[in-house]
Amino acid sequence: ENVLTQSPGTLSLSPGERATLSCRASHSITHNYLAWYQQKPGQAPRLLIYGASIRATDIPDRFSGSGSATDFTLTISRLEPEDFAVYYCQQYGGSPWTFGQGTKVEIK
């Protein structure tokens, strides 16, 4: 099983600041099949990024993804009030398909 470890567990930032979230895999992810999701309280997750760096439909360009093999990053260039949420990474390169434990981005 490919274990995904996200860091930090919680990120305390102010609106307008830059957020950098990390996702590290225990094994190299085939074809960089790594996705990022955003989840707000009481809502289902929303796909933000797939293929490590491709923005999903209607996702603002302040969200960007980078990385390869075992180390991946989600960057939010300037936090908007609606960006405070929990973010999960997920690999879909090999079964079983696994998620990271999440990073909470909270208002400082």
Partner 1 sequence: EVQLVESGGGLVQPGRSLRLSCAASGFTVDDYAMHWVRQSPGKGLEWVSGISWNSGSRGYADSVKGRFTISRDNAKNSLYLEMNSLRPEDTAIYYCAKDMKEGAYAPLFDNWGQGTLVTVSS
Stretch that binds partner 1, among 9-17, 46-54, 59-67, 73-81 (CB under 8 A): 46-54
Q: Does residue 104 bind partner 1 (CB under 8 A)?
A: no
Stretch that binds partner 1, among 10-18, 19-27, 70-78, 94-102 (CB under 8 A): 94-102
Nearer to partner 1, 17 or 39 (CB): 39
Q: Does residue 53 bind partner 1 (CB under 8 A)?
A: no
Would you say 93 and 84 are in contact if contact means Cβ atoms under 8 Å apart?
no
Phi and psi torsions of 4, nearest 5°? -105, 125
Pairwise CA distance, residues 2 & 27, whole Å: 6
Nearer to partner 1, 17 or 102 (CB): 102
Total site size for partner 1, rule CB under 8 A: 22
Output the CA–CA distances (angstroms, integers) from residue 95 to 1, 2, 3, 46, 77, in the order listed. Answer: 7, 8, 11, 21, 32
